[in-house]
A = this chain, B = another copy of it.
């Protein structure tokens, strides 16, 4: 167990790093941030910050040597960066989670090997493979780049088999995955943690609504999902154990009409669909992650309230006066300057008694 006063290093300076930093401070830790960005959201609540590119491995090593444990706040930290950090301090979660989750084919393979179900998929590295895959999986299907896609970027919906070659070319001819369309009832997710001792704690399953590929709303707990709780825990535990994971991660799931849950995506970090825990649980996902990486026992993930989380995206943040004046609206703003389109600027949690 890491002693209070110890230094926790975070790779990444965005809003997730900011909220992690505040939870770490609450437990008496000092936070050091490594980020390529000047005046980042996380740096403004941290004890120390190094601003350097992720590719500057000597800066990374220096950063790591100055802290007691390192974690990351986003899944596209380069693996080489993570490795350079891990040579100088314990890295939690480890490099494997990045390697698996940075590549959609590696991720889907991992999930299936762990005995968990996904929608049908095919790796696609040529136009011929794109055509063969669409024939195998049928339409509609979604072609996604294997790497660096987020919030709906790097994707093409294919509605006719003849469009497969063009879609692959439109995505730049880079390695892709074709995923069969899953006729899901709703999108849900489970946010869960694994401690250094292997203990697992999962928050209740939540229901998520996206617009334009970006999360808009999370309803927690997911209504009428009690019967899915055991399966969600089984999936989370399988993913966490398979990655030998320490910390919080999210598994995005498709809830099918027949009661099955298909794994859509793993995020090896605290997650937007867990932001409701900040106000509705005694132990937020951010504290839970810090507890795990610090080698502390996990907190109780039970909520004391139900919550509805609304993301503030781009111009939504200009509504701050209205939100500040709304009774019961727990407002979170990330300290980002410009409310650019599609940029996550903050979120609002609205609590209600548990059903």
In the bound complex, residues from chain B placing their C-beta under 8 Å from that of A47 are 44-45
Q: Is the CB of B335 within 8 A of A25?
A: yes
Q: In this assembly, does A304 line the interface, its C-beta being within 8 Å of a C-beta of chain B? A: yes
Given the known inter-chain contacts A25-B44, A279-B282, A334-B28, please indicate yes or no for A1 contacting B328, CB distance below 8 A.
no
Contact A296 to B324, CB < 8 A, known contacts A22-B26, A305-B304, A346-B28:
yes
Question: Contact at B346–A324, with CB atoms within 8 Å?
Answer: no
Please report the C-alpha to C-alpha distance between residue A45 and residue B28 in the assembled complex, in whole angstroms.
11
Interface residues of A in 326-355 (CB under 8 A from B): 327-328, 330-335, 337, 346, 351
When the two chains form their complex, are residues A30 and B335 in contact, meaning their CB atoms are under 8 A apart?
yes
User: Which residues of chain A in 18-32 are interfacial with respect to chain B, using CB atoms and an 8 Å cutoff?
Assistant: 18, 21-22, 25-30
* Given contacts A45-B45, A282-B330, A335 and B4 within 8 Å (CB-CB): yes
- Tell me if A297 counts as interface (CB < 8 A to partner B): yes
Seen from chain A, the residues whose Cβ lies within 8 Å of a Cβ on chain B are 1, 3-5, 18, 21-22, 25-30, 44-47, 279, 282-283, 291, 296-297, 299-300, 304-305, 317, 320-321, 324-325, 327-328, 330-335, 337, 346, 351
- Are A335 and B5 closer than 8 Å at their CB atoms? yes
**Assuming A22-B26, A25-B22, is B4 touching A328 (CB within 8 A)?**
no
Q: How far is A332 from B45 in the complex, measured between Cα atoms in Å?
A: 17
Q: Is the CB of B3 within 8 A of A320?
A: yes
Q: What chain B residues lie within 8 Å of A337 (beta carbons)? A: 5
Q: Are B304 and A351 in contact (CB under 8 A)?
A: yes
Task: Report the Cα distance A300→B329, complex, angstroms.
Answer: 9
Tell me if A27 and B304 are in contact (CB < 8 A). Answer: no
B25 touches A18 (CB 8 A): yes
| A335 and B282 contact, CB distance less than 8 A | no
A351/B282 in contact, CB under 8 A: yes
Q: How many copies does the complex hold?
A: 2
Instruction: Write out the residue numbers on chain B whose beta carbons fall within 8 Å of the beta carbon of A30.
Output: 44, 335
A297 CB contacts on chain B under 8 angstroms: 324-325
Known: A44-B30, A346-B28. A333 touches B4 (CB 8 A): yes
Residue contact B330 to A283, C-beta cutoff 8 Å: yes
Which of B22, B26, B291, B331 meets A324, CB within 8 Å? B291
Query: Which residues on B sit within 8 Å (CB–CB) of A3?
Result: 320
| Most B C-beta atoms less than 10 A away, residue of A282, A304, A325, A327 | A282
With beta carbons under 8 angstroms apart, the residue of B27, B324, B346 that contacts A333 is: B27
Residues of B within 8 A of A4 (CB): 317, 320, 333, 335, 346
> Once the chains are docked, how many angstroms separate the CA of A47 from the CA of B21?
13
- Residues in chain B near residue A21, CB distance under 8 A: 45
Known A279-B282, A320-B4, A324-B291; judge A335-B304 contact (CB<8 A): no
Select from chain B the residue with minimum beta-carbon distance to A1: B321
* Nearest CB in chain B to that of A47: its residue: B44
B28 lies within 8 A of A335 (CB): yes
Partner of A328, one of B296, B300, B305, B335: B300
B324 touches A1 (CB 8 A): yes
A333 nearest CB neighbor, chain B only:
B28
Q: Please name all residues of chain B whose beta carbon is closer than 8 Å to the beta carbon of A27 when the two chains form the complex.
A: 324, 331-333
Closest 6 CB pairs of A and B: A28-B333, A44-B47, A296-B324, A4-B333, A25-B45, A297-B325
Q: Which residues of B contact A331 (CB under 8 A)?
A: 26-27
Q: Give Cα distance in the complex from A321 to B304, angstroms.
A: 25
Please indicate the chain B residues that have their CB under 8 angstroms from the CB of A291 in the complex. 324
